[in-house]
């Protein structure tokens, strides 16, 4: 069994427990020992961050090969067009290569906690809210994707990772769950030879003595 912590990471908090520059860290919110972030959430992003005390679970959550879908609520500058939405659904090309197609839809402005400080919103320019789902985890990927189609991200909140959801957690609040991990399959266990053996090679039977006649 493993313990997993679901934290609503506040804005401008690092996804780690220490910082030499005096910035806010997870240590101000999570008082559990021997838990570590599974993946990361940018300093200027908010929402769901998972922490665990199990290295195998940490790897499964953080590793893109396991393809856990991540759900974000994104506020962008401007009234986003159908063309931009379709570009995101098809995948866009960033400096580090093309993205996979995203699931995306418009949202009515959600009722959320007030961010401190609030977003910098230009007068007379509308904003749009989107729900965006991806299975990748590149650096600042969502922000780069919306900028690529002409609608910069103003606020970014992660609402879910796989089946884990933020639900009613407020900034800085967390809850813990117990996860039952499956046993390792035989292929995950590396064969190790015991001292004195011939490294797993088949042994030859000693020759039988010749009968004297």
List, in order of start, the domains of the chain with CATH numbers: 1-67+162-185 (3.30.70.580), 69-161 (3.30.70.1560)
- pLDDT surpasses 50 at 10: yes
Q: What is the mean pLDDT of residues 156-167?
A: 96
At 108-158, the pLDDT tens digits run 999 999 998 999 877 788 999 999 999 988 899 999 999 999 999 999 999
Distances (CA, A) of 173 to 5, 44, 57, 68: 10, 17, 22, 23
At 55-94, the pLDDT tens digits run 889 888 887 677 789 999 999 999 999 999 999 999 999 9
- Taking the model in full, what pTM does it have? 0.83
Catalytic residue (choose from 19, 42, 53, 54): 42
* Mean pLDDT lowest among 98-102, 144-148, 172-176, 188-192: 188-192
Q: How confident is residue 210, by pLDDT bands cut at 50, 70 and 90?
A: low
In this prediction, residue 189 carries a pLDDT of 47
- pLDDT surpasses 50 at 204: no
At 13-67, the pLDDT tens digits run 999 999 999 999 999 999 999 999 998 999 999 999 999 999 889 888 887 677 7
Q: What is the mean pLDDT of residues 174-186?
A: 78
- Decide if 31 is catalytic: no
CA-CA-CA-CA dihedral for 159, 161, 162, 167, to nearest 10: -40
- pLDDT surpasses 60 at 198: no
- Rounded to whole angstroms, the Cα distance separating 171 from 49 reads 11
- Rounded to whole angstroms, the Cα distance separating 99 from 145 reads 8
- Rounded to whole angstroms, the Cα distance separating 138 from 101 reads 14
């Amino acid at each position: 069994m493993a313990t997993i912590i679901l934290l609503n990471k506040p804005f401008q908090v690092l996804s780690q427990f220490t910082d030499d520059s005096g910035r806010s860290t997870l240590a101000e919110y999570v008082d559990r020992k021997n838990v570590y972030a599974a993946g990361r959430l940018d300093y200027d992003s908010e929402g769901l961050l998972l922490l665990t005390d199990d290295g195998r679970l940490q790897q499964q959550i953080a590793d893109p090969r396991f393809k856990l879908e991540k759900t974000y609520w994104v506020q962008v500058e401007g009234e986003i067009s159908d063309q931009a939405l379709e570009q995101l659904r098809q995948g866009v090309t960033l400096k580090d290569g093309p993205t996979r197609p995203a699931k995306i839809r418009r949202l009515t402005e959600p009722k959320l906690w007030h961010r401190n400080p609030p977003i910098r919103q230009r007068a007379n320019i509308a904003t749009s809210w989107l729900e965006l789902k991806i299975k990748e985890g590149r650096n600042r990927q969502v922000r780069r994707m919306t900028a690529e189609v002409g609608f910069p991200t103003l606020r970014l909140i992660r609402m879910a990772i796989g089946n884990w959801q933020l639900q009613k957690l407020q900034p800085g609040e967390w809850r813990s769950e117990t996860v039952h991990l499956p046993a390792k399959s035989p292929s995950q266990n590396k064969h190790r030879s015991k001292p004195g053996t011939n490294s797993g090679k088949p042994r030859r039977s000693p020759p039988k003595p010749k009968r004297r006649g």
